[in-house]
Amino acid sequence: MKKSWRISKDLDSNNVSSLANELNVSNIIAKLLVKRDVYTFSEAKTFFRPQLEDLIDPFLMKGMGGAANKIKKALIESKKIMIYGDYDVDGTTSVAMLYSYLTAQNDNIIYYIPDRYNEGYGLSKLGIEKAKEEEVALLIVIDCGIKAVEQVEMANSYGIDVIICDHHNPGKTLPKATAILNPKQSDCEYPYKDLCGCGIGFKLIQAIEQDKDQGLSYILEYLDLVAIAICADIVPMTGENRLLASLGLKLINKNLRPGLTYFLKKKKINVSDLIFTIAPRINAAGRMKHGKHAVELLINKKENEISSKARVIELFNTERKLLDEKITNEALEQIETLSELDNLSTVVFRPDWHKGVIGIVASRLIEHHYRPTVVLTKSGDIYAGSVRSVKGFDVYEALLACSDFIIQFGGHKYAAGLTLEPSKYSDFKTAFEKEVSARILPDQMVPSITYDMEITLDKLTKPVYRIINQMSPFGPFNRQPLFYIKNCVDNGGTKLVGADNNHLRLEIKDGAEINFSGIGFEMGEYISKIKMKNKFSILAHLQNNEFNGNSKLQLLVTDISFK
């Protein structure tokens, strides 16, 4: 699929030269830092050397004092506490963290993960009934609950106190909980607004521990779970998130959680391993069976039990991948059969599609047909769907305009879920196409890649790489630097590699006559044009390739253009 290339935000040259002088670094590094809102020596120090002492005071978060005191009192009085969390990575890591922390102080703690299919997302009435049955005195809801007005009212009627730890946008009416921890509340003065659910849970633990003589060393063991949640939930890799993820990754590489050793065998674990290896497996439990399987694996320390639980989750993930591929192919076939290739939106339905993977399928369809997408399946007597959008297009607003045909929906700009009556399917499909056609802009219909700067190969040196490497962990708003290199030409060594000869091993030079190696995965189609000595441009990351004890810089190519 053809993509447009765009440079990231414009820079003030005075900011760049000032930072370059203050840090004694090249303009290349100074530009990369300014693009990441690092302007001073102090900010650069925090960026490159995140320390536990840099954590924000948790009591700046509205409701934190009341929440921490309520939990401490419940622990002292041995009152029963239930931790309730969502079935995705953020929710299950949050539950595993709070459960591990609280059970170390009191054994009167239980946890609850809702069933994706019987209860759906958020705080459920079934969960509250379970809390009542278990004679729970305090319910801690994490990674959901900010809109659970009726459910909290129900819990209150049973004499159950509720603490909500959520990072989703609040509605107009807040639940009448004992305490609500959410930096996105309009009157919350907490300076960092982009924590994930597990991050807010960690701040709660920090608040409880802050006044103890042992300081914060006692809670460092939970930072691995926070790092996994941050990476999997795709929250901005800035500020306190970056600090928590950085410290969490150090812990993971030093002392990997027993339940994860089955999946991660490599020496150096990075963000990509958490996103592409750990997160899909944790999510697979909730998608294919039940999220409690993920929690059980994360909290377990018994070696004889861990391997069997890990194997079960691996089976869930294998099943998920097979279903994902099968349903994606069926959906693509449906689009072609219905002759909807020229539509500006995609809406597909089949009654037997697995509800647990339709969100993944929606994302896969966008890779083929770049447009806002809805994938629906049958769920009881109604249709349930997952919605995904393209860069810049607010799908939530489009759904709002189609609300006459929807039972309910929720989500945000780029992802949402909805339910509708079967009789409304055709009307919804027509209305959604109409709304997308009216709202979407031409440049939102073409996938784009944003790069940091144009550069020549002679500027990509080992010292530059060493500093770039220290800019990790990478994620949203702190992406791995991407460079635009033009006037590239084959120096004779470019060839096809891989079992199916579908990858490019590039050997190129540019206008500066510097030779460089690179790898372009799934780019074998370009080999003919390259070998004909056509000039081309590339977008690429700089990386270090270690092989047989040798170390060499190379380019990881993300796109090629022959303009």
- Exposed (0-12), middle (13-18) or buried (19+): which is 510, by Cβ within 10 Å? buried
Element (H, E) at 386: strand 382-388
Distance CA 378, CA 344 (A): 24
- The per-residue pLDDT for range 508-517, each reduced to its tens digit, is 999 767 899 9
Q: How far apart are CA 272 and CA 289, in angstroms?
A: 25
User: In the chain, which residues fall in CATH 3.10.310.30?
Assistant: 338-445
Report the top-level CATH class of 58-310: alpha beta
Question: Quick one: pLDDT at residue 388?
Answer: 96
Which numeric CATH code is attached to 449-561?
2.40.50.460
Give 126-176 as a 3 state SS string. Answer: HHHHHHHHCCCCEEEEECCCCCCHHHHHHHHHCCCEEEEECCCCCCCCCCC
Condensed to tens digits (0 to 9), the pLDDT of residues 157-208 reads 999 999 999 998 888 899 999 999 999 999 999 999 999 999 999 999 999 9
Q: Determine how β-strand 138-142 pairs with β-strand 81-85.
A: parallel
Give ranges for CATH 3.90.1640.30 in the chain.
Answer: 58-310
Give the separation between CA 127 and CA 347, rounded to whole angstroms: 33
- Summarize the confidence of residues 216-244 as an average pLDDT: 93
Instruction: For the chain, give every residue range classified as CATH 2.40.50.460.
Output: 449-561
pLDDT at residue number 339: 80
Tokens for 450, please give them.
Answer: 């944003």
Of the options 3.10.310.30, 3.40.50.1220, 3.90.1280.10, 3.30.420.40, the CATH number for the domain spanning 338-445? 3.10.310.30
pLDDT interval class at 11 (50, 70, 90): confident
Amino acid 214: pLDDT: 65
